[in-house]
Structure 1
Amino acid sequence: MEENKRITRKGSTPIKVYCLPEERELIEQNAAAAGLSLSAFLLAVGQGYEVKGITDYERVRELARINGDLGRLGGLLKLWLTDDERTARFGHATILALLGRIEATQDEMGRVMKAVVRPRAEP
């Protein structure tokens, strides 16, 4: 009879780490800040992964909200500029420069979001 058993972490030998209560408390706080269990945190750090805190994801959410606001602002600005006769005093260069600035800000925010949240390679 052939056994095809898959090796899992649960069936492997654990690594014991002795630490003082203060050290354990600090490790637990760091794991909680990263939104990970103590085991998942230590496994990730032990394999050399840079652990990102959940605050990074909160920042990305905020950046995404601002990015959406900028997009809506650009859309409203375009609408306002095409339908309002009072915009005749603004030159095309000024309008294009403003729209270009909004687009550049959106691109920069996208780069920041990608730098903050990078998918972790699976071990």
Structure 2
Amino acid sequence: MLGDSANDLFELPRRSLPPIKIWVTLEERAEIEIRAAQTGLSVSAYMRAAGLNHPVRSVLDLKAVADLVRVNDDLGRVAGLLKLWLAEKRGQGASPVDVEALMEDLWALQTEMRQIMWRAVRGR
């Protein structure tokens, strides 16, 4: 029926392979379906990944990282504008020391956001 190699299994459409059946309560099934939807996977793909101990990431986490990237970019633009303002309008409005302190705070926030994004993407 199948070829000699175990790799031949991966060449067949998944629907033609024998399924693994598990017994779950209605509540467990609902929870599995919710978790699968959160990852953007089908229930079958989610269960396969979980059963093979593959990392399963939430789509929501990746969307949150994308949002953080946008905010990080905005912080960079604000810091750039402050730096430009400081160079062109030195001493007007806020004191240069206050503006430089604000810029340092923005850069610290950017660094913290990058660390959070890295941990989210790496799954830690």
TM-score tier (shorter): 0.7 to 0.9
Secondary structure (helix, strand or coil) at the match of 2:56 reads coil
Matching residue within 30, 46, 50 for 2:51: 46
Secondary structure (helix, strand or coil) at the match of 2:9 reads coil
Taking only aligned residues, the RMSD between alpha carbons, in angstroms, comes to 2.6
Q: Which residue of 2 aligns with 1:37?
A: 42
Q: Bigger CA drift: 76-85 or 9-18?
A: 9-18
Gaps of 5+ in 2: none
State the structure with bigger RCO (CA 8 A, min sep 6), 1 or 2. 1
Q: Which residue of 1 aligns with 2:8?
A: 7
Matching residue within 46, 49, 70 for 2:75: 70
Q: Using a 3 Å threshold, how does the CA distance of structure 1 residues 87 and 38 change in structure 2: closer, same or farther?
A: same
Matching residue within 107, 111, 116 for 2:115: 111
Gaps of 5+ in 1: none
Secondary structure (helix, strand or coil) at the match of 2:8 reads coil
Q: Using a 3 Å threshold, how does the CA distance of structure 1 residues 85 and 23 change in structure 2: closer, same or farther?
A: closer
Q: Bigger CA drift: 8-17 or 33-42?
A: 8-17
TM-score normalised per structure 2: 0.75
Q: Using a 3 Å threshold, how does the CA distance of structure 1 residues 89 and 72 change in structure 2: closer, same or farther?
A: closer
> For residues 115 and 85 of structure 1, what CA distance do their matches in structure 2 show?
39
Aligned length: 116
Q: Which residue of 1 aligns with 2:100?
A: 96
Supply the AA of the counterpart residue of 2:110. Answer: Q
Secondary structure (helix, strand or coil) at the match of 2:122 reads coil
How many angstroms does 1:89 deviate by?
6.3
Matching residue within 47, 51, 62 for 1:57: 62
Identity of aligned residues (%): 37
Q: Bigger CA drift: 105-114 or 16-25?
A: 16-25
Matching residue within 17, 24, 28 for 2:29: 24
> For residues 8 and 15 of structure 1, what CA distance do their matches in structure 2 show?
15
